[in-house]
């Protein structure tokens, strides 16, 4: 009896100790957040940074799907504008067939690009025309900054699709109130003001201008249209199986629901003849 009491007493002490540790950690963290928020001075980056605009996308929601025409327009924007600086190292040329391009179009596009290779005779690095099985080649950028690879950008940023579209449409002159409230804040000589970027300054100049590309489907190529199209395309590069995942998900959910109902009815049938014992 005394041994059982000792075990229970020790268990209670351990539980209390764990509870106290959790409460202390929570309280200390809350105090740190509150105190830092009160003591940390306001900054231009905090006051003037904007959250992404919320756009309507064809692939939103459980029944949403990619719009192939929009993806093709976005790919055109990437190829003619963004590809000069940004790579797509996780995308193979043959993946473009998912956008509705046929095998011949994919082969022709791949062949128009030079990919790295090794000379079989001299073993020296060389290049050759791409094949559908090759991946988009790395972009050697000679300017300032280090342009990121865009393959997973829509996943690498919070609310990535809206973030990309907002960023590309967000270039503007720095408002006068920024310097009025924060006289020490200044955009670097090589920077461009954009309130959707974390520090308000981008090394990349505004990449898009109205009419910069000519869409095959006749859509007017405004800055907003191109921004949304390339944002949708980069969402596809980050999650090319989105449509298939949604198509698979619904049958699985329906099957699980059916299996749950079947299991419940089976349980009722099996235990129907078993009467509970009466006490007393």
* pLDDT at residue 33, rounded to an integer: 56
Residue 109 lies in a domain: no
**For the purposes of burial, counting CB atoms within 10 Å of the CB of 119, is it exposed (0-12), middle (13-18) or buried (19 or more)?**
exposed
158 is in an annotated binding site: no
**Residue range of the domain that includes 160:** 46-91+136-242
Contact (Cβ atoms closer than 8 angstroms) between residue 139 and residue 147 = yes
Lowest mean pLDDT, pick from 14-18, 77-81, 152-156? 14-18
| Res 183 pLDDT > 80 | yes
46 carries a ligand binding annotation:
no
The reply, when asked if residue 226 is annotated as ligand binding, is: no
Q: How does residue 121 score in pLDDT terms, banded at 50, 70 and 90?
A: confident
- Domain presence at residue 250: no
Considering the domain boundaries, does residue 210 fall inside one? yes
Give domain status of residue 6, yes or no: no
Would you say residue 169 lies in a domain?
yes
Structural tokens at position 190: 């090589």
What pLDDT sits at residue 4?
Answer: 54
pLDDT at position 19, please?
A: 80
How much is the average pLDDT of 268-279?
69
Does residue 56 have a pLDDT over 80?
A: yes
Q: With pLDDT > 70 as the criterion, what percentage of the chain qualifies?
A: 87
Among 11-25, 164-178, 201-215, 231-245, the least confident range: 11-25
| pLDDT tens track for 28-55 | 766 665 655 555 568 988 999 999 999 9
* Residue at 12 is within a domain: no
Q: Are strands 201-202 and 192-193 parallel, antiparallel or unpaired?
A: antiparallel
* Number of domains present in the structure of the chain: 1
| Three-state secondary structure of the chain | CHHHHHHHHHHHHHHHHHHHHHHHHHHHHHHHHHHHHHHCCCCHHHHHCCCCCCCCCCCCCCCCCCCHHHHHHHHHHHHHCHHHCCCCCCCEHHHHHHHCCCHHHHHHHHHCCEEEEECCCCCCEEEEECCCCCECCCCCCCCCCCCCCCCCHHHHCCCHHHHHHHHHHCCCCCCHHHHHHCCCCCCCCCCEECCCCCCCEECCCCCCCCCCCCCCCCCCCCHHHHHHHHHHHHHHHHCCCHHHHHHHHHHHHHHHHHHHHHHHHHHHHHHCCCCCCCCC
Per-residue pLDDT tens over the stretch 87-111 = 999 999 999 999 999 999 999 999 9
- Could you report the per-residue pLDDT of 222-246, keeping only the tens digit for each? 999 999 999 999 999 999 999 888 8
pLDDT at 36: 54
Question: Is 82 labelled as part of a ligand binding site?
Answer: yes
Q: What CATH number is given to the structural domain containing 218?
A: 1.10.760.10
CA-angle at 14, arms to 12 and 20, nearest 5°: 100
Residue 100 lies in a domain: no
């Amino acid at each position: 009896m005394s041994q059982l009491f000792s075990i229970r007493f020790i268990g209670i002490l351990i539980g209390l100790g764990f509870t106290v540790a959790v409460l202390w950690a929570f309280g200390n963290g809350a105090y740190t957040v509150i105190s830092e928020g009160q003591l940390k001075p306001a900054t231009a980056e905090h006051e003037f940074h904007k959250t992404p605009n919320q756009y309507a996308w064809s692939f939103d929601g459980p029944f949403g799907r990619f719009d192939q025409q929009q993806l093709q327009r976005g790919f055109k924007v990437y190829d003619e504008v963004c590809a000069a600086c940004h790579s797509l190292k996780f995308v193979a040329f043959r993946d473009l067939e998912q956008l509705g391009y046929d095998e011949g179009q994919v082969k022709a596009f791949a062949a128009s690009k030079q990919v790295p290779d090794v000379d079989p005779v001299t073993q020296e690095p060389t290049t050759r025309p791409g094949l559908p099985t090759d991946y988009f080649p790395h972009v050697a950028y000679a300017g300032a900054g280090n342009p990121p690879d865009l393959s997973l950008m829509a996943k690498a940023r919070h609310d990535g699709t809206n973030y990309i579209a907002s960023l590309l449409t967000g270039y503007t002159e720095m408002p006068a109130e920024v310097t009025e409230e924060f006289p020490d804040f200044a955009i670097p000589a090589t920077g461009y003001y954009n309130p959707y970027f974390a520090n308000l300054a981008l090394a990349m100049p505004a990449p898009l201008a109205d009419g910069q590309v000519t869409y095959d489907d006749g859509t007017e190529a405004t800055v907003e249209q191109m921004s949304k199209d390339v944002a949708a395309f980069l969402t596809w590069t980050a999650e090319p199986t989105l449509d298939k995942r949604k198509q698979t998900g619904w049958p699985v959910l329906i099957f699980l629901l059916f299996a749950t109902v079947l299991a419940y009815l089976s349980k009722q049938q099996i235990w129907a003849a078993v009467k509970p014992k009466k006490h007393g």
